[in-house]
């Protein structure tokens, strides 16, 4: 084995930018899932398979799940940024 040199501050900043980009892609993916779920619920409402109350409740539930997923992404991002800047 051979020792790896420590990361330079410039490289750590570059890696942080990459991590932020990945986190943003994850947020976009979560929002796309939310949009798809809400579209399916709207289709059910349009076909009168569910009531407006069920529609609203479903949208609220989907939003809560979206918020929780984005919070996890943000927490993972913060942890990774701290880890990168620590070295």
Tens digits of residue pLDDT in 16-71: 999 999 999 999 999 999 999 999 999 999 999 999 999 999 999 999 999 999 99
Cβ-proximal residues to 74 (8 Å cutoff; 6+ apart), any chain: 23
Domain extent at residue 37: 21-86
Let me know if residue 8 belongs to a domain: no
Distance, in Å, from the CA atom of 23 to the CA atom of 26, rounded to the nearest integer, reads 5
pTM of the model: 0.85
Let me know if residue 59 belongs to a domain: yes
- Containing 48, the helix (H) or strand (E) segment is none
Q: Can you say whether the dihedral through the CA atoms of 70, 35, 44, 53 is positive or negative?
A: positive
Confirm if 15 and 7 have CB atoms less than 8 A apart. yes
Let me know if residue 26 belongs to a domain: yes
CATH number of the domain enclosing 25: 1.10.132.20
Confirm if 85 and 24 have CB atoms less than 8 A apart. no
Let me know if residue 13 belongs to a domain: no
Let me know if residue 41 belongs to a domain: yes
**For the chain, how many structural domains are there in total?**
1
Let me know if residue 28 belongs to a domain: yes
């Amino acid at each position: 084995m051979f020792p790896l040199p420590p990361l330079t501050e410039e490289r750590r900043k570059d890696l942080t930018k990459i991590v932020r980009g990945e986190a943003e892609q994850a947020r976009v993916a979560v929002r796309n899932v939310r949009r798809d779920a809400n579209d399916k619920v709207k289709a059910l409402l349009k076909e009168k398979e569910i009531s407006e109350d069920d529609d609203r409740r479903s949208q609220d539930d989907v939003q809560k799940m979206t918020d929780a997923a984005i919070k996890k992404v943000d927490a993972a991002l913060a942890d990774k940024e701290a880890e990168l800047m620590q070295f």
